[in-house]
Amino acid sequence: MYPETDIPPIAISKEMLSRLRESSSIKTWDEYVDELSKRYGINRVLAEKIFDSDRLDLFERIVESTGVQASFIASTLTETIVSLERQGLDSSRLKDEHVEDAFIRVARGDVAKESIASIFEVIMQGRADSVDKAIDMLGLRAVSDEELSTTLDGIIGENYNVLREKGDKALGMLMGIAMKRLRGRVDGNKVNALLKRKIEEITGKK
């Protein structure tokens, strides 16, 4: 290669290089991952997984449309679905609209977030072709506040002697019983808060 003699050389200053770097829209893989982590408040490991997956666009769409916690959405898309695939289930049956619909139901309080994996499992097994059918098949319709309160009162009544003996230390045991009965039909945090309040009313501790 010989230098071009018909065109005068152009001196490139440090300032020109700096401006070029600043104006460049090309980002490195690390920069994209860092930006994703900061924008959605998720840890770097999850940010890496969702960025490297084929579900990044779906993730961002669900976060924007539902307001469900971004870390839960990311872990579901990159870990829960992958786990089901490793069990031999067919992820091609699980369409983007199924995934988005399931998170919309969680956001509305129609189902608990703990039910997402079960809903996806039924669809990937080919036993249901919609989120609605999966919910009905699994009996996951959310319980009403009244039904939740009645269920917890029943559990407390069945274990009243243990509660009187252990006081608020019985919370963990009672919570375990409640979640077995209500799994997938109500958010665990909601169950815990109401059960704790009922126990405090009985024991007098706050």
Identify whether 12 is part of a domain.
no
Identify whether 117 is part of a domain.
yes
Q: Closest Cα to residue 168, out of 201, 138, 200? A: 200
Is the CA virtual torsion 149, 155, 161, 166 positive or negative? negative
Give yes or no: residues 106 and 86 share one domain. yes
Rounded to the nearest integer, the mean pLDDT of the chain is: 88
Task: Dump pLDDT digits (tens) for 55-84.
Answer: 999 999 999 999 999 999 999 999 999 999
Give yes or no: residues 149 and 120 share one domain. no
- Say how far apart CA 184 and CA 165 lie, in whole Å: 30
Q: Could you list the residue range(s) of the whole structural domain that residue 115 is in? A: 30-138
Q: Closest Cα to residue 52, out of 91, 82, 94, 88? A: 82
Q: Name the domain count of the chain.
A: 2
Q: Greater confidence, 141 or 156? A: 156
Q: Closest Cα to residue 195, out of 108, 182, 184? A: 182
Residue 116: Cβ within 10 Å count: 24
Give yes or no: residues 90 and 155 share one domain. no
Q: Greater confidence, 4 or 108? A: 108
Give yes or no: residues 116 and 199 share one domain. no
Give yes or no: residues 37 and 130 share one domain. yes
Task: Dump pLDDT digits (tens) for 85-126.
Answer: 999 999 999 999 999 999 999 999 888 898 999 999 999 999
The pTM of the whole model exceeds 0.85: no
Give yes or no: residues 36 and 132 share one domain. yes
Mean local confidence (pLDDT), 147-158:
92
- Say how far apart CA 202 and CA 42 lie, in whole Å: 39
Task: Dump pLDDT digits (tens) for 117-135.
Answer: 999 999 999 999 999 999 9
pLDDT at 157 over 70: yes
